[in-house]
Amino acid sequence: MEKLNYTLPPTYHLGNQGCGCFLELPGHPSYFTRSVYTRVGNNPPGRMVDGEYQAGVSYEFNGMYFTELEDVNKYFKPLPLEHERTQAWIACLFGYFKNCYHNPDGKKGDDTLIYPVPDYQLKHFHEDERFSEEWRTKERASIKQANAEIQKTAKKLATLDNHKAVRFIRQHYPDFKATAEMLKLNGYGKGDWWTRLEKRPTPEQCPGDKGTKHPVNGTWCQFCGWRAKD
């Protein structure tokens, strides 16, 4: 239940701007939403008003108060796919999900396939002279065959449409057309200015993020992407 008319009690205070989940779309309200804190935490209890129960507000967004973060989402309209900020978000996704594909046979919460297959997911032969040469020869052949099957299965699943970034983007832009060249994109770590700003700020103009000034530690800035080594 959303609460549009609300006066913040004097014992309450608002947290820093931003309750956003990682990799939300550019401009998503969660990047601007602030938590409502009380003496007992950030989830005020409900109360009775004129005989009706009203849940306590938990979030503030543009002067409005809400009980659930999901209620804020209806105020959001995604930017066009070709927008500079959307493209920066897409580049970030491809960098973050680099070599990650969906595995339909994986268990819930563990459906990620890495391709090329990392060495730790392959079987290895461990030499031990205590075993006969015949056994070792057969074991090597068995491991080689098993690894060939692992590689074959992974290659079959590692399609462009199955890439984690592509699947994530299509949740919001169903008509998104991916190309193999996009797999080379890597905007991860280049700054998440696109979450709240129209343009990437210069290091001199960067406001920092969520109350943290630019740069964080003198060597890099998560918000604008500046790095001392660049």
Q: Residue 162's Cα: distance from chain center in Å?
A: 17
At 1 the pLDDT is 47
Place of tokens 């461990």: 126
Contact in structure between 195 and 224 (CB atoms under 8 Å): no
At 201 the pLDDT is 93
At 107 the pLDDT is 74
Q: Is the peptide bond before 116 cis (omega within 30 degrees of 0)?
A: yes
> How is residue 36 written in tokens?
């409502």
At 48 the pLDDT is 65
pLDDT digits (tens), the chain, 230 positions: 455 567 788 888 888 877 777 889 999 998 888 888 887 777 777 776 677 666 778 888 888 888 888 888 888 899 999 999 999 999 999 999 999 999 988 777 688 999 999 999 999 998 888 889 888 899 999 999 999 999 999 999 999 999 999 999 999 999 999 999 999 999 998 999 999 999 999 999 998 887 788 987 888 898 999 998 86
> CB neighbours (10 Å) of residue 151?
15
